[in-house]
């Protein structure tokens, strides 16, 4: 199994359990540095994922925006495939 597939599975498991994820969480927990790419793949497969931009302070104290991805529709809800 490729690392990419493993990361996709880990991300969807996380979303199913916690309902949201950020890039920093994906990097720290799964080593997934391209969360937006994984989210794109999941959306293509039929998952309903919404993006919320939130303002946070970075390590220098500056305000910046980061994406929080929320699972709003699971393909399992409609009898779809299970990752």
pLDDT at 80: 46
User: What pLDDT band is residue 78 in, cutting at 50, 70 and 90?
Assistant: low
Question: 75: buried, middle or exposed (CB in 10 Å: 19+, 13-18, 0-12)?
Answer: middle
Q: Where are the domains of the chain?
A: 3-74
DSSP 25-60: HHHHHH--S-HHHHHHHHHHTT-EEEEEEEEEE-TT
Task: Indicate the CATH number for domain 3-74.
Answer: 1.10.10
Q: Which residues pair with 23 in a beta bridge?
A: none
- Region 31-43 average pLDDT: 96
User: Average pLDDT in the 58-75 region?
Assistant: 96
pTM: 0.84
Give per-residue pLDDT as tens, 16-35.
999 999 999 999 999 999 99
Structure tokens at 29: 């927990």
């Amino acid at each position: 199994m490729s690392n990419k597939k493993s990361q996709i599975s880990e991300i969807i498991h996380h979303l199913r359990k916690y309902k949201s994820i950020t890039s920093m969480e994906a990097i720290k927990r799964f080593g997934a540095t391209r969360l937006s790419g994984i989210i794109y793949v999941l959306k293509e497969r039929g998952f309903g994922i919404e993006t919320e931009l939130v303002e946070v302070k970075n390590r220098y104290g500056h305000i910046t925006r980061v994406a929080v991805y929320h699972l709003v529709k699971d393909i399992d809800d409609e009898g779809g495939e299970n990752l």
